[in-house]
Every structure is written in C-alpha cells, then in structure tokens.
Amino acid sequence: MRILITNDDGIHADGLKVLEQIARTLSDDVWVVAPETDQSGVAHALTLSDPLRVRKIADQHYAVRGTPTDCVILAIHKLMPEKPDLVLSGVNRGENLADDVTYSGTVAGAIEGTVFGIPSIALSQAYAYENREGIEWNTARTHAPALMKQLLAQPLPKGTLLNVNFPPIPAENVKGVQFTRQGFRSADQLRIDQRNDGRGFPYYWIGFKHAVEDFVAGTDLHAIEAGYISVTPLQLDLTDYKTLAQLQG
C-alpha cells in the first residue's frame, strides 16, 4: 500500500511526525507532502494566483508553499510516481468536530484525496485548553494503527471520507470507539478580540470561547467529551435532499 500523508499544521508539526509513525505501521511506502507553514483554518482552499514552490526535504518528503489541497494535488500529479492507495491527513493539533470540519485544512486534505477517488481519513488529536503544551499525541499514536486497519477493512463509498478525532486523555483511559454524526456548535462560540496597533488603530483576532456546551448524544462532540475516539463518515455531496424535494415540490 502506497500512503500519502499531509496536514494543515505544516511540515514541522509534531502531529505530522506522529502520523508518519502511524502510516509506517501500515506500509513502508509512505510519502509526506505538507505545507511549509501553518495552514489551519484554510479549509479546502486552492492556490490559484501564486506560484507553488516545492522543497524536497528528504526521499519521499516534500514541503509545499501552499494549502493542504495544493499538497495533495501536487503529490498526485507531480511528486509521486503512482497514485496513492490511501491519503491520511493530520494528526491535527486540536479537534476537528462539528462545524470545525468546514474550516479545517486537515479535513480538506482528506476531502481532496476523496475527490481523486482515493480512500482518505482525517485524524485530529483533541487537547484540553488548560493544557496546550501537554498534547496527548500518544493517544493517537497508540490507538490509530489498529483503528486504521479496522476502518480500511471495508471499502468506503465513492465520495465518502472519515473524520477521526482522539479524545484529550491519556491513551490508557480511552473508553473505545464511537461511530458518530457531525455535531453542531453555534457561532456564539466565536470570540473576537479587538486590540490596538502602535498607532492606535484597531485590529482583530478571531478566537473561540469555551462555553459549556449541551452535547447531543450520538454526535462527535459528545463522543470526545465522554472519552471515546470519534469516527464520523463525511460526504462530499453537501446537498440537503429533504429541502431539495420540498423545493422541487
């Protein structure tokens, strides 16, 4: 099996090294093509107005001055001798749950693999916000290899990818795996910090509040909160078929 790995945190990210370790439990033929810099929050962006510079770091390891989507496209069209059999994206520094998936460059890396018809999985390691430096990478590292084998045992439908999140607890405390649906967080979660620059003009940072949420059972949010690994199948087709039928009626 030929595996392509990418991420959105960049070529130097700890989570990318963890993902390479995970991928190497599945195959010796691992290709790493990841952004030069942190691309968190770029979603499925494609670079159209700037050149894409590629830097070869080592055998089968490349950094791209672009987005995760650019990385997957260049890997498949230019850098790899043959198409990969599997695309893994991550392991993201932080969860990608609920509507995070629409902002996430990590999920987009797997979306792009899916566009090419390749089985693709996004992986993210949640962390507790009071413990930003103590990310439990070992939880993803410990549990991902067997989980990936289990998930890849049956083919994914065309246009479907998997979004896997690991809970922010030590590996030995993980309660199991839950197959979940995408939850929902409201825009109330956003917090806009206003600051002033050296000349007194305001500028802004988008951040997140960590309000106590009412987690609905069966969702990705609930599974992570309860100490489970969450696996959510996502589909490229965003059509709301119920509303489509109503509109057509």
Positions that interact with Mn ion (CB under 5 A): 8-9, 40, 92
| Beta carbon of residue 16, minimum distance to Mn ion (angstroms, whole number) | 10
Paired with 168 in beta bridges are none
Instruction: State the nearest-atom distance from the C-beta of 150 to Mn ion, in Å.
Output: 25
Instruction: Answer yes or no: are the C-beta atoms of 109 and 122 closer than 8 Å.
Output: yes
What's the closest the beta carbon of residue 247 comes to Mn ion, in angstroms?
A: 36
Crossing angle (nearest 10°) for helices 137-152 and 14-24: 40
- Closest to Mn ion by CB, 96 vs 232, is 96
Q: Quote the least distance from Cβ 235 to Mn ion, whole Å.
A: 22
CB of 106 to Mn ion, least distance (A): 5
55 pairs with which residues across the strands?
63
The torsion angle over the Cα atoms of residues 120, 38, 12 and 149, rounded to 10 degrees, is -20
DSSP, collapsed to helix, strand or coil, labels residue 18 as: helix
Closer residue to Mn ion (CB): 9 or 70: 9
**Is the preceding peptide bond at 42 cis, omega within 30 degrees of 0?**
no
Q: Which is nearer to Mn ion, 67 or 92 (CB)?
A: 92
Q: Which residue is nearest to Mn ion (CB)?
A: 40
Render 129-158 in DSSP notation, one character per residue: GGGTT---HHHHHHHHHHHHHHHHTSPPPT
Choice between 92 and 120, CB closer to Mn ion: 92
Which residue's CB is nearer to Mn ion, number 135 or number 223?
135
CA distance 137 to 231: 17
